Chains A and B, each alone.
Chain A
Amino acid sequence: MLRENYHAVIIGAGIAGIRSALDLAETGSDVLLIDRAAHPGGLLSRLDAQFPTDGCGMCKMLPLLERDSAEATCLRKGFFHERIDFLPATELSHLEGGPGRFAVRLKQTLQGVDPQLCIGCGACETVCPVDMPDDFNSGLSRSKAIHRVVPHAVVGAYVIDAAACTRCGACVPICPTGAIDLAFDRRKEFSILVVDDELSVRDSLKEWLLNEGFMNVQTAESGAEALTLLEQSDVKLLLIDVKMPGMDGVDLLKQAKADHPDRVAVMMTAYATVDTAVEAMKSGALDYLIKPFDPQAMLAMVNRVFQATVSVQERQVTAGAVILAGGMTLFDPGEGVNPYGYGTHPHVITSLAFERVLSGCGPSQGRLVRPADGKPLQRIAWLQCVGSRDCQISADFCSRICCMISLKEAVLAKNKSNDAVETTIFYTDMRTFGKSFEPYRRQAEEERGVNLVRARVHSVTASPESGDPLLRYAGLDGRMHEAEVDLVVLAAGFRPSPETEALAELTQAERNAWGFFQPQPFAAACSSAEGIYLAGACTEPVEINAALIQASAAALEAGRTLRRSGSQLALAEGPAAKGVAPDAPPRILAAICTCHGCLSETRNTEKLISGLTRDPAVVQVLFVDQLCGADGWGPLEAAIKDVAPNRLLVAACHPLRHSTHRRALSRRTGLPENLMTIVDMKIEPTEPQADTTARSLRTALGEHVLSASLQMGVAFLKHTDPTAPEREQVQRKALVIGGGTAGMHAALAIADMGYGVDLVEKENRLGGNLAWLHHTLEGHAVKPLLDQLDDRVIQHPKITLHLEHEVVNAVGRVGDFRTTVQNAQGRTEILRHGVTILATGGLEAETTAYGYGTHRAIVTQQALERQIGSGEADAAAWDVVAMIQCVGSREPSRDYCSRVCCPTAIKHALYLKEKNPRVQIYILYRDVMMTGFSESYYTEARRAGVVFIPYRPQQLPGVETSPDGIVTLSVRDPIAEVDLKIEANLLVLATGVVPRLPAKLAAFYGATLDSGGFFQEADSKWRPVDGLREGVFACGLALAPQTITEAAAAGQAAAQRALRILCHESLSAGHPTAAVRHSLCVLCQRCIDACPYGARSVDLEQRRLVVDPAMCQGCGACAAVCLNGAAILNHHGAGQMLAMIDAAVE
């Protein structure tokens, strides 16, 4: 059952919402997660693979500690966590109060199918007459009006598309569980009043409505009569004529609304009085219809009103904080000019639709064929920047992720076709801004043969001969080219999701010029409204990595608010179930679902019983009806109390859907969840044509298979070790290494939550790179931020500052680290802490390229920023300033984009132009990486006259210096095809960022570095700030090239991830967890090498092998490599597996 009071309500259950929800739940908050869609997962539920891994790893978001609190299964199927309630198809309707005391009103749209009753048999789908485009597959396949929202969802997710449903009623009787409700009874009762002075109108309206099933229709010929009728009956919907003798329609409306404001009214008007009808909408009318009207349009409107009345359920809850995580939506390329023929040319689709083409459950089951005609694909073209970077449609921003999405799609298409398909990407700038994106691009281009063509496509038409798409584009040479392909994929940009506007109004959170929520300066997760936080792509189109970092930061800010407002978090320690003695003989209760009576008809139950009870461990076999719904679990609970088994075997359809019931049962009976197992019965419906009553079902597999499944279940349970996992004490203190932006944010975040922090900084001051940064691209001064952070850190009672200290050694594991720090005088101190955050920062890369260091007119961007800060930069003295981007970056030796250099160059160019409008500025670049909303500054710079000249890494610009202070650059302009000479007073080099994370320091904590020397995350998408070794986190420039705001968010995200550990007094393992049989162990340490999480180590004092239960994730790799059977995986042990194999072959 749903709770009424929550710590936080999260609006939007995409990956950012899920991340925030899990982060809060893992630190003890009760969370309500809502989404306007009927299924969680957002955009990601439609993507099978992500860049740059070309795979999926969404499940890696699941809790790593207290793993049993969530269901261990694919997150794309849906998710379950015991502290998170999820409400599908729900929107915020009202918000009141403030931080710590929000009153939240929600509106849930019922989907016509009761999820508790639906068993996902699909009988309804077979009889539904409506054939409509399948939304999930972007309209590339067909679906019925009653369908599953997401094909791979756990069953019970059938919904009815109310707009498409014809209410024929065919699905109602065929449903074996009576789960479908089309509200026919309420339709009959739904009271409608038609007010019109013309009899013909009244009569025809009444007749149409009666035919549609609305039986309760009254008519009135005047306003006065209508008012009398309104007094007598509870009218829900009024259809009012505007122009009537006596009291006119608008007056009637006002009076009808006066005492019943929730009454819905629709005005009927002739063309001449449309203005009056529009006026009436201000007085509360819902809409208007122009006479003579189309009966279908009128009925559609009445049906809409009816649906909204009957299918909307209101809820009211309280919450301490609200997180907005509504994400983004795809730009519709059919809007406006539509030069690429989207929607008119059959072979032009969006990138999201192409994701479905690639998917195993997509329209072509993953075969690489053209969606419209099934022709095998041989030539595919991607068109970048559709709906992005386009000032003509007021989209002067970059959607940031489309370049990588297209690269990924091209590579996946290559994979699917064994490199046979020809792939071309037409791009503006290839924005490979992330840490591992540049190597991905290089691999795609050089090894996989993806063609990258720098051009903006003018138009797509149909080839006169073949009808295939014909692209016309201007190449870099300035000439027009043509290309014919099989399929055009539009890399459509992104827009705020449709509910953003309404949410902004309800929450008072400000939005930016493009409709996305506007975060506060340097605080990406904070909105302009107090207690309302922002997660993921609702603030800017972002990739998974950034969305999750921001989501964790939002969870942190929400947690802070909760703490400030005095919320008590309900963190239950220890298992709720009472446990089973390890030496107790197994007593198994086997419960078999009879699946609406079909089992008794089709199976020899006697044989099943005797087969099971042959094993003395099975104490009773119970047949229960409808274990798929709540009805069956009641009798089961009674039986458990009666029989007192210590193991439970359940046979039912679709084991994955029973997690909630299983947990509730465990809570109520005390039987631990890990001692329950559910085997799949695989019941499926017969074809309805064969049996029109269609209530009978048959098993998909033979009887002997069910018997084998049950025996395998018994074998599994019988050999399960019931010992409750151990718990390890936690040192509830954090160590943060590095006192820059990220380190200070992390330290403050943890300290604000009441835990002690040791902050170690090598230098004699805090701030790191903030010390020399003057202002940001957006124009925010940096010094106030530094001063404020500096003050807060120094004054915080929970932070112990160790300036001029360095870490010289460290040992330990999550929950208990011991770090030795040393000061300049060589004095050492040992710090004990439960978590470690590496925030050691980064520096501007050194260079000797382009004559740097030989001439004082050649400087780096950092030097220019320092000069601007100190006032030394004399813009007026310069006539020409040249800048070279990507100096030493995005080359095999330093194979990543430093991300901050393009914004810095443009920031400085704009500054110099402002100080001296006559100064000529030339920026020599490879790809302008102005991602997201920073794109608008690139536009501004071009408008201000800054000249951008592309160069290729194969042909670097030449630099010559002369004693008179002039630096001469020679570069080839590829468009004009001429060699340019630029005589500049100043040459500024963007050398990029290098991390300052010594490998030795990382190794102390079991962390590793990536090829660029940055911290290697556990997973670059799904665990962006975690190390693979639990308890070690990184943020700031030690993690990846970042802006100040991104570093601050990463610091907070690292802190939030650390708080998951610190909030526990002791850490426990989940199920399954590895263990060691010491008597068999010969300390060969093969298991240590096999463990991906570093959970295994040798205890040198005791001379034995130990497993850290909090770090172990239960993969069982150790057990498979152990030669002696000393490494074991509890709850999936060799004994269980061998017994199951025995049962399977029986």
Chain B
Amino acid sequence: MQSFEPLIIAFVCNWCTYTAADLAGTSRLTYPSNVRLIRVMCTGMVDPQYIIKAFLEGADAVLVSGCHPGDCHYINGNFKARRRIRLLKEILPQFGFEADRLQLTWIGASDGIQFTQTMRELTERTRELGPVASRSQMVF
């Protein structure tokens, strides 16, 4: 069987995780090319429709990653994201997407290594989950 290469969309906040991604880049740490980064100002601005859209359009996993609790540049945007992701994890399975395909992490500006590890682990996990089974039954 041909190995499955998942597509992962990562919404990363401008202040922490995007900076960690840059640190990974400048430290010449690599991470799987399955991941597409979308820089957002804050995880608190990630509208659930973006995540649902990503899944519907073909993403096999979605990561939302921002500043550690207490670090948010905008005071509490990461907490808003946390509440939202928790709800989405309840809803997504009803649409045929396993809750595990959505992940929320906190990756600070110095955590370049943690950034690449997270990307690797997520890619690996999604690879194990395989393609979204329900997608073949979806009518667009």
The chain A residues found within 8 Å of chain B, CB to CB, are: 48, 53-57, 59-60, 72-74, 76-77, 120-122, 148, 151-155, 359-361, 365-366, 653-656, 680, 682, 684-685, 700-702, 704-705, 708-709, 712, 1018, 1028, 1072, 1090, 1092, 1113-1117, 1119-1121, 1129, 1132, 1134, 1137-1138, 1140-1142, 1144-1145
Contact = CB atoms under 8 A, between A and B. Distances in A.
A612 to B, nearest CB: 17
B70 A54 contact: yes
Nearest to A123: B28
Given A56-B109, A1119-B47, A1144-B9, 9 more contacts: A59-B73, A60-B73, A73-B19, A74-B15, A152-B112, A654-B26, A704-B33, A1114-B41, A1115-B74
Contacts of A365: 113-114
B98 interface: no
25 contacts: A56-B71, A73-B19, A74-B15, A77-B19, A77-B109, A151-B27, A152-B110, A154-B22, A360-B108, A360-B111, A361-B111, A656-B22, A682-B25, A1115-B41, A1115-B44, A1120-B46, A1120-B47, A1120-B84, A1129-B41, A1129-B45, A1132-B40, A1144-B9, A1144-B36, A1145-B57, A1145-B59
Interface in B60-106: 67-71, 73-77, 80, 84
Nearest to A365: B113
Contacts of B129: none
Contacts of A1140: 38
Most interface-central of B27, B75, B114 (chain A CB within 10 A): B75
A360 to B, nearest CB: 4
Interface string B30-49: 10010011101110111111
B54 A1145 contact: yes
B132 interface: no
B4 to A, nearest CB: 16
A1144 B80 CA distance: 25
Contacts of B37: 680
A152 B68 CA distance: 17
Contacts of B28: 121-122, 684-685, 700
Given A360-B108, A1072-B41, A1117-B80, A1141 B54 contact: yes
A654 B26 CA distance: 7
A1015 B16 CA distance: 28
Nearest to B46: A1120
Q: Which 6 A-B pairs have the closest CB atoms?
A: A1116-B45, A1115-B74, A360-B111, A55-B71, A55-B70, A1144-B36
Nearest to B18: A73
Contacts of A1142: 57
Contacts of A1134: 47, 49-50
Nearest to A56: B71
B7 interface: yes
A1141 B50 contact: yes
A154 B26 contact: yes
A53 B72 CA distance: 11
Interface string B5-22: 001010000111001101
A656 B50 CA distance: 25
A121 B73 CA distance: 30
B109 A152 contact: yes
A583 B73 CA distance: 33
A74 B16 contact: yes
B33 A1145 contact: no
B130 interface: no
Interface of B: 7, 9, 14-16, 19-20, 22-23, 25-28, 30, 33, 36-38, 40-42, 44-50, 53-54, 57-59, 67-71, 73-77, 80, 84, 108-114
Contacts of A120: 26
A1090 B59 CA distance: 29
B113 A1090 contact: no
B22 A360 contact: no
Nearest to A702: B33
A55 B74 contact: no
Contacts of B19: 73-74, 77, 152, 656
B14 A1092 contact: no
A1144 B45 contact: no
B50 A1137 contact: yes
Contact of A708 (B26, B36, B59): B36
Contacts of B40: 1116, 1132, 1137
A1117 B33 contact: no
B14 A73 contact: yes
A900 to B, nearest CB: 29
Most interface-central of A54, A74, A365, A708 (chain B CB within 10 A): A74
A1117 B110 contact: no
Most interface-central of A72, A709, A1116 (chain B CB within 10 A): A1116
Contacts of A680: 25, 37
Contact of A55 (B36, B54, B67): B67
Contacts of B23: 77, 151-152, 361
B94 to A, nearest CB: 20
Contacts of B53: 1138, 1141
Contacts of B47: 1119-1120, 1134, 1137
Contacts of B112: 151-152, 360-361
A149 B45 CA distance: 34
B7 A74 contact: no
B71 A1144 contact: no
Contacts of A54: 70
Nearest to A48: B110
Contacts of B16: 74
Contact of A56 (B59, B74, B77, B108): B108
Contact of A360 (B14, B69, B113): B113
A365 B117 CA distance: 12
Contacts of B68: 55
A1049 B126 CA distance: 55
Nearest to A119: B26
A832 B111 CA distance: 48
B45 A1117 contact: yes
B15 A73 contact: yes
A655 B49 CA distance: 28
A656 B54 CA distance: 26
Contact of B111 (A73, A366, A700, A702): A366
B85 to A, nearest CB: 12
B58 to A, nearest CB: 4
B42 A1116 contact: yes
A48 B74 CA distance: 18
Contact of B114 (A360, A1137, A1144): A360
Contacts of B30: 684, 700
Given A48-B110, A59-B15, A1145 B42 contact: no
Contact of A57 (B26, B50, B73, B110): B73
Contacts of B108: 48, 55-56, 360
Most interface-central of A120, A1119, A1121, A1141 (chain B CB within 10 A): A1141
Contacts of A361: 23, 27, 110-113
Contacts of B59: 1141, 1144-1145
B22 A1117 contact: no
Nearest to A1119: B45
Contact of B110 (A53, A360, A704): A360
B114 A366 contact: yes
A959 to B, nearest CB: 42
Most interface-central of B25, B27, B49, B54 (chain A CB within 10 A): B25
A237 B127 CA distance: 67
Contacts of A152: 19, 23, 26, 109-110, 112
A1134 B50 CA distance: 8
Nearest to A1071: B41
Nearest to B44: A1117
Contacts of B69: 55
Given A57-B73, A152-B110, A1116-B40, A77 B22 contact: yes
Contacts of A685: 28
B81 to A, nearest CB: 9
